[in-house]
Amino acid sequence: MEITEVKVFLKEGQDRKLKAYATLTFDNAFVVRNVKVIEGNKGLFVAMPSRRLKESCPKCGFKNVVRSKFCNQCGGPLPQVETRPMTHGDDASRQSEHKDIAHPITAEFREYIQKKVLDAYESEKKKGPSPRPAAPSGPSSGHSAGPSVGPAVGGAPRHEGIEDDSDIEL
């Protein structure tokens, strides 16, 4: 399997750990969006797209984010799971709140993805920020009114109807 295209969308505000989003195309046939380039303690790394895990309220059945103390629907208390205290720099408990949507199975393929994405990220960084297109001036602009997919304000990919990965239910 070959990565045939990598699109990188730089994030503004370079003081944050999230540096960019990437979209990968495999064999000109399959796309994976929302791959993240993150600045970690040991340098840049690539994080695969993920979603926040949810637990059902025993009283009303509403799905709440893991580790919530109260239900966002009925306000009832949620059962608390014993966890070790989270220390600064301890990503293990934060990772347990998320589950990958798509990910490589082998270490070799993970390294291949990371190299391709980080190379594209460095290339995009050298180009600098691209100028924003001018806003269309009315209905005669020639743009269709269909769903919008592509760069949004801030450089992150925009997907119609999905605000963030917490909207995705599997």
* CATH number, domain 1-49+101-130+150-161, options 3.90.1300.10, 3.30.1120.40, 3.40.50.150, 2.40.50.140: 3.30.1120.40
Q: How far is CA 86 from CA 28, 31, 82, 97, in A?
A: 42, 35, 12, 13
pLDDT at 94 over 80: no
Q: How far is CA 20 from CA 5, 16, 39, 127, 129, in A?
A: 16, 10, 10, 14, 12
Domain positions in the chain: 1-49+101-130+150-161, 52-86+93-99
| Cα–Cα distance, 27 to 51 (Å, whole number) | 25
pTM for this model (two decimals): 0.57
Cβ atoms of 118 and 38 closer than 8 Å? no
pLDDT tens for each residue of 136-166:
554 444 444 444 444 444 444 444 444 444 4
Instruction: Please state the rounded mean pLDDT for residues 115-143.
Output: 70
pLDDT tens for each residue of 44-62:
999 999 888 788 888 898 9
